[in-house]
Structure 1
């Protein structure tokens, strides 16, 4: 009598199954979900009650909302996933996955897919609040979706690259400080035209500025920003490849 070993599921099936698993973990962590919404909501309140974005669009809420949505994508993908994965790695939670057919690529792509699903919830909540405050997007919605997806891929991959290469405590510090810098001077909330020329010349090459400028052009002005899309797509490819190549299952 002979037995036949079961074959592993196709790669796409493995990725989608892991994405479902990761999604359940994220949505059941109510504390982390709230934390990833607090900073964007605070930013929305601050930007609509001050004159810092006056002249960017016809109203303050129209000027602020695209950047706030971009910040939410960064928050849930970059900070949230990096911290969770960093501590999972430190405590050996990922050790079992290392022995499965999922592999590093399946882990990374599954987590990115899960973040994209959860990001939809964040966008829905923030958009509802913004509409209540008078937001009227001059929308190229299809392009905004493309920019948003590229942003999720880019910043989730960056977070996983950090989480997979340094210790959890360092990941916590790096990503929290990084999120503050991205929000303050990374071109997400503040258009490049509001930054010092020397700083703007550097920041415009970063994925944060590409995400912020792309979302503003699509939702505040109804324009398609090809340059921002190319920059963001390039960063997405580089960071996904780097995360898959360098991710380590254990410290």
Structure 2
């Protein structure tokens, strides 16, 4: 039997979406751990790369430039922190506290609840992108003609990372365990994406796997668009990120539970 969505039901969903969006903004800003990992931690790394750049400038046109390498690395790290520590962990904490169980007793739709997490986080990501793009423009790495392509790459990359964050949070019930797992996974993904170390130094088998990680495609797109480093096919990177985002989002909505023991 087909369920019809009435205008009054849509109004209620829009109202719930707006209220949840406000609540998410307050929760993200007030939590000290989230605030640090999402907003402060990336700035510390950017300052570190800027400091390294003043101590060790690029050695000629083909030399290593800490600032050029650091800008896409910090942006990718900022986006991953926002998707994992700023999205997955708070959702798991809400489940542990029983807040999700309470919401599950209301007519609130899972999809509406998950989508309401996005606006404030995309706003923060836009601010991070603006700050690092300004740095790339000031140093001459970012060409104005590449800004449109950069926005597409970042939109797809964020959608992918948020979908993966939601998928992690779909069933996990222990935020401390989730933080520990994510704290191990994120540096590995960053290292194998090639933003901190060139993939050429890895053994051939490891390199082949690293090059096919979804985050590696995002990192490659960021290096191309943000600081003008040649890379692979940008179209392929977009397709991979869009595909992973669609699959992960579908899994997240399908598996999402309001309580620890919810049966589907």
**TM-score, length-scaled by structure 1:** 0.81
Q: CA 1:231–1:132 in structure 2 vs 1: closer, same or farther (change >3 Å)? A: closer
Q: CA 1:202–1:56 in structure 2 vs 1: closer, same or farther (change >3 Å)? A: farther
Q: CA 1:57–1:76 in structure 2 vs 1: closer, same or farther (change >3 Å)? A: farther
Q: Quote the Cα distance in structure 2 between the aligned partners of 1:137 and 1:84.
A: 34
- The DSSP-based 3-state class of the residue aligned with 1:9 is helix
Q: Paired residue for 1:122, among 125, 128, 134?
A: 128
2:177 alignment partner in structure 1: 170
- The DSSP-based 3-state class of the residue aligned with 1:75 is helix
Q: Deviations over 1:171-229 (max 9, x none)?
A: 12211211222222233444544544322211222221111111111111287711111
2:188 alignment partner in structure 1: 181
- The DSSP-based 3-state class of the residue aligned with 1:166 is coil
Q: CA deviation at 1:80?
A: 1.7
Q: Is the 8 A contact 1:69 1:123 kept in 2?
A: yes
Q: Is the 8 A contact 1:211 1:228 kept in 2?
A: yes
Moved more, 188-197 or 103-112: 188-197
Taking the TM superposition and a 5 Å limit, the aligned residue runs for 1:23-172 are 23-29=25-31, 31-47=33-49, 49=52, 59-127=65-133, 130=135, 134=139, 136-139=141-144, 140-168=146-174, 169-172=176-179
Query: Which has the higher Rg, Structure 1 or Structure 2?
Result: 2
Q: CA deviation at 1:37?
A: 3.5
Q: Deviations over 1:141-160 (max 9, x none)?
A: 12211221222222222222
> How many correspondences in the alignment?
246
Q: CA 1:192–1:113 in structure 2 vs 1: closer, same or farther (change >3 Å)? A: farther
Structure 1 gaps of 5+ residues are none
1:220 alignment partner in structure 2: 227
Q: CA 1:35–1:72 in structure 2 vs 1: closer, same or farther (change >3 Å)? A: same
**TM-score, length-scaled by structure 2:** 0.78
Q: CA deviation at 1:16?
A: 4.9
CA-atom RMSD in angstroms: 3.3
Find out whether 1:197 has 2:207 as its counterpart. Answer: no
2:8 alignment partner in structure 1: 7
Q: CA deviation at 1:243?
A: 0.6
- The DSSP-based 3-state class of the residue aligned with 2:9 is coil
Q: Quote the Cα distance in structure 1 between the aligned partners of 2:66 and 2:9.
A: 53
Structure 2 gaps of 5+ residues are 1-5
1:207 alignment partner in structure 2: 214
Q: CA deviation at 1:237?
A: 0.5
Q: CA deviation at 1:127?
A: 4.7
Q: CA deviation at 1:93?
A: 1.0
Q: CA 1:152–1:101 in structure 2 vs 1: closer, same or farther (change >3 Å)? A: farther
Q: Quote the Cα distance in structure 2 between the aligned partners of 1:31 and 1:39.
A: 10
Moved more, 182-191 or 92-101: 182-191
2:3 alignment partner in structure 1: none
Q: Quote the Cα distance in structure 1 between the aligned partners of 2:97 and 2:40.
A: 28
